Amino acid sequence: MLAERTMVTNIVTALADETVESVLNRMRAVKLRMIPVVDADGMLLGVVSTFSIMKKVLPSYISTGDLDQISYAPDLGILRSHYREVAKLKIAEVMDSKPLMVNRDESLLAVSAAMISLNQHEHAMVVDENKHLLGIISAGDVLDHLREEGANDA
């Protein structure tokens, strides 16, 4: 089974110069946790997720320090003030600019292996030779596909 037959092509995207706040609003409206960031020609620049935005909101001395846990700290209002700063940033400043990219003719086996082994991506971006975004495959899409195939076999 090829990537292009599994991928979802009906995609909501963000543009690099949109603010984090407006992109978050759109994500909330369509109930998505992750959306790709493209330029005006539809070329893939990166992906942005609620998780990656939350990581930005967390002070980096916490996310990258030697603190195993900080359950001893009360709420300091740091998150709220950081959130206000991050919300105003351009999406290009918070996106992950190295998303998992796969070709349209890759096998489902290769795609799922890449999702697991390369930094645990939950989504794979299907692109053409010029990095134009064609579709997205999520872990759920893979599982759905396997279930349908099983049903057809029976």
Partner 1 sequence: MHNTQEHAALAIFGLDPTWLAVSILLVVYAVIMAEKFNRAVLSLLGAGLMILCGVITQQQAVAGIDFNTIGLLTGMMVIVAISQKTGMFQYVAIKAAKAVKGSPWGVLVMLSVVTAVFSAFLDNVTTVLLIAPVTLLITDALGVRPYPYLFAQILASNVGGTATLIGDPPNIMIGSAANLSFYDFLVNLAPITPVIFAVMLLAIWFMFGRDLHASEEHKALVMQFDENEAIQDVPLLKKSLAVLFLVIASFTVAHQLHLEPASIAMFGAAALLLLQTLGQPLADKDHAYEGIMAEVEWTTIFFFVGLFIIVTGVEHTGVIELMAHKTLALTGGDFVATAGVILWVSAIASALIDNIPFVATMIPLIQSMGPTFGGPEALVPLWWALALGACLGGNGSLIGASANLIVAGFAQRAGHPIAFLVFMKHAFGLMLISIVISHLYLYFRYLTP
In the complex, minimum distance from the CB of residue 90 to partner 1, in angstroms, rounded to a whole number: 18
**Where on the phi/psi map is residue 44: left (φ > 0), alpha (ψ -120 to 50), or beta?**
beta
| Dist. CA 148–CA 37, nearest whole Å | 30
Within positions 13 to 32, which residues make up the interface with partner 1, using CB under 8 A?
A: none
Q: What is the x/- site pattern for partner 1, positions 100-139, by CB under 8 A?
A: ----------------------------------------
| Dist. CA 138–CA 141, nearest whole Å | 5
Q: Does 88 bind partner 1 (CB under 8 A)?
A: no
Is residue 45 a contact partner of residue 32, using CB atoms and an 8 Å limit?
no
In the complex, minimum distance from the CB of residue 57 to partner 1, in angstroms, rounded to a whole number: 13
Q: Does 42 bind partner 1 (CB under 8 A)?
A: no
* Secondary structure letter of residue 96 according to DSSP: B
What residues make contact with partner 1 under the rule CB under 8 A?
Answer: 59-62, 64-74, 76, 78
